[in-house]
């Protein structure tokens, strides 16, 4: 499965065809029989997704110090190590029988299925530390659990997670949250201060507010918070942030919220470099297995990227790993000095593809990909 994910295969037919082409090399792994689609399909259906989840969590625990190594720099803010980012991404499915989606297909009018991947990452690591799966129709606040957080933690999230009751629980536990404001929120303004630039333009506006809400138990909650409004120069519009922290400098609060972009980049990175548009099985178990293996492939490549002295973009590294995956090379040495190992790949390509005109194409592709 990991081989299929890294190679970006979209179907079981592609996987079996590739394994058949590489049968000579697979014999060294003790695989001396033909692997058919039925074998892969049965494995997808019978093997529990919890096994693949355990593999990912074990690898994450083993390599999280490697992933966070850059955060030891003096330029990194002190709050970075305590910052967690929470968000979700929805993967559209063809059917809504397994996971209820939201909305309908624009042409057919049929309901769309979708699985929502709720994710938490530590800002200094860049890979998921916690993942939960639900149907796409599940509200994001499902993943916001104050009991999982400790005093001193900082949480950045978008406005889909706004929940007064949970926000008050976070405050009582000593957890700082930063999120984006909703226009529809009702509150009482306790104080309102605007700071201007020397030119008389608004620099930042700080409002101390109180939210009042009666929860299901009949108890009335009074949640004290701060609204920080500033001008986003890139988007050229006003942005209002909500936080329960009443002491941090507004510049720090804005910087914390901007780190939320890291989780969006992670989702984009995974969807661009791994096959998440098509699934190898139709069962809920098969879909979850493919997502867990995708997360594992992403983690391994990020660990590899951290360990290289040569700078690689993630997509460039993923492409080169895809090209060299079935060749006997030292990955560490090869990716630090790709041109040095090019002749090894050429010789292996000659022996495997002799009599064809693929060799020159392979060499040219290797040279182009080694100079991102």
Verify that 245 and 329 share a domain, yes or no. Answer: no
Q: Which of 4, 29, 32 is nearest to 328 (CA)?
A: 29
Read off the CATH number of the domain in which 62 is found. 3.90.350
Helices (H), the chain: 2-7, 12-21, 23-26, 37-46, 49-67, 164-172, 250-258, 261-273, 284-307, 314-324, 331-336, 342-352, 358-369
CA distances from 90 to 8, 87, 140, 267, 269 (A): 20, 10, 11, 10, 14
Whether the CB-CB separation of 195 and 204 falls below 8 Å is answered with: yes
- pLDDT greater than 80 at residue 157: yes
Q: Would you state the pLDDT for residue 345?
A: 59
- pLDDT greater than 90 at residue 54: yes
Q: Would you state the pLDDT for residue 327?
A: 79
195-231 in b/e burial notation, b at 16+ Cβ within 10 A?
eeeeeeeeebbbbebebeeeeeeeeeeebebbbbbbe
Verify that 57 and 172 share a domain, yes or no. Answer: yes
Residue 361 lies in a domain: yes
Residue 7 lies in a domain: no
Verify that 252 and 372 share a domain, yes or no. Answer: no
Residue 21 lies in a domain: no
Question: Model confidence at 289, in pLDDT bands (50, 70, 90)?
Answer: very high
Residue 359 lies in a domain: yes
pLDDT 10s digits, 221-244: 999 999 999 998 887 889 999 999
- pLDDT greater than 70 at residue 5: yes
Tell me the two tokens of residue 35: 């692997």
Q: From 236, 268, 300, give the residue that closes a domain.
A: 268
Q: From 268, 285, 318, give the residue that closes a domain.
A: 268
Q: Would you state the pLDDT for residue 74?
A: 58
Number of domains in the chain: 2
Verify that 152 and 259 share a domain, yes or no. Answer: yes
Per DSSP, 69 falls in state G
Verify that 149 and 216 share a domain, yes or no. Answer: yes
Q: From 218, 236, 268, give the residue that closes a domain.
A: 268
- pLDDT greater than 60 at residue 90: yes
Tell me which residue has tokens 């494995």. Answer: 43
Q: Would you state the pLDDT for residue 246?
A: 93
Give the domain extent around 153. 49-268
51-90 in b/e burial notation, b at 16+ Cβ within 10 A?
ebbeebbebbeebbeebbeebeeeeeeebbebbbbbbbbb
Question: Model confidence at 192, in pLDDT bands (50, 70, 90)?
Answer: very high
Verify that 115 and 173 share a domain, yes or no. Answer: yes
Verify that 219 and 319 share a domain, yes or no. Answer: no
Question: Model confidence at 317, in pLDDT bands (50, 70, 90)?
Answer: very high
| Residue predicted with more confidence, 91 or 347 | 91
Q: Would you state the pLDDT for residue 136?
A: 81
pLDDT 10s digits, 13-48: 998 888 888 887 777 777 777 788 888 888 888 889
Question: Model confidence at 366, in pLDDT bands (50, 70, 90)?
Answer: very low
């Amino acid at each position: 499965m990991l081989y299929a994910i890294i190679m970006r295969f979209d179907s079981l037919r592609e996987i079996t065809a590739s394994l058949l082409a590489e049968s000579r090399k697979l014999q060294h792994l003790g695989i001396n029989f033909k692997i058919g689609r039925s074998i892969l399909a049965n494995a997808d259906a019978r093997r529990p997704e919890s096994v693949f989840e355990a593999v990912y969590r074990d690898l994450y625990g083993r390599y999280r110090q490697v992933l966070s190594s850059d955060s030891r720099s003096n330029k990194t803010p002190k709050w970075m190590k305590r910052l967690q980012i929470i968000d979700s991404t929805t993967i559209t499915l063809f059917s809504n029988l397994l996971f209820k989606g939201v909305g309908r297909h624009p042409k057919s009018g049929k309901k769309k299925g979708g699985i929502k991947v709720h994710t938490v990452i530590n800002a200094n690591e860049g890979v998921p530390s916690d993942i939960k799966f639900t149907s796409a129709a599940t509200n994001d606040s499902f993943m916001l659990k104050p009991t999982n957080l400790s005093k001193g933690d900082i949480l950045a999230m978008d406005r889909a997670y706004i929940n007064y009751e949970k926000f008050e629980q976070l405050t009582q536990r000593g957890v700082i949250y930063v999120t984006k404001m909703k226009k529809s929120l009702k509150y009482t303004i306790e104080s309102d201060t605007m700071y201007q630039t020397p030119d008389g333009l608004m620099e930042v506006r700080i409002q101390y507010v109180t939210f009042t809400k009666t929860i299901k138990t009949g108890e009335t909650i009074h949640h004290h918070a701060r609204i920080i409004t500033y001008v986003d120069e890139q988007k050229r519009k006003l942005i209002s942030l909500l936080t329960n922290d009443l002491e941090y400098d507004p510049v720090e609060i804005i910087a914390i919220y901007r780190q939320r972009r890291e989780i969006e980049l992670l989702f984009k990175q995974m969807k661009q470099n791994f096959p998440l548009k098509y699934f190898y099985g139709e069962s809920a178990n098969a879909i979850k297995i493919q997502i867990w293996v995708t997360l594992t492939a992403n983690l391994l490549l990020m660990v590899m990227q951290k360990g290289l002295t040569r700078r690689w973009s993630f997509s460039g590294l993923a492409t080169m790993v895809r090209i060299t995956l079935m060749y006997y090379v030292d990955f560490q040495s090869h990716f630090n000095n790709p041109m040095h190992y090019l002749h090894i790949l050429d010789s292996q390509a000659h022996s495997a593809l002799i009599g064809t005109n693929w060799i020159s194409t392979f060499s040219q592709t290797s040279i182009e990909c080694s100079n991102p």
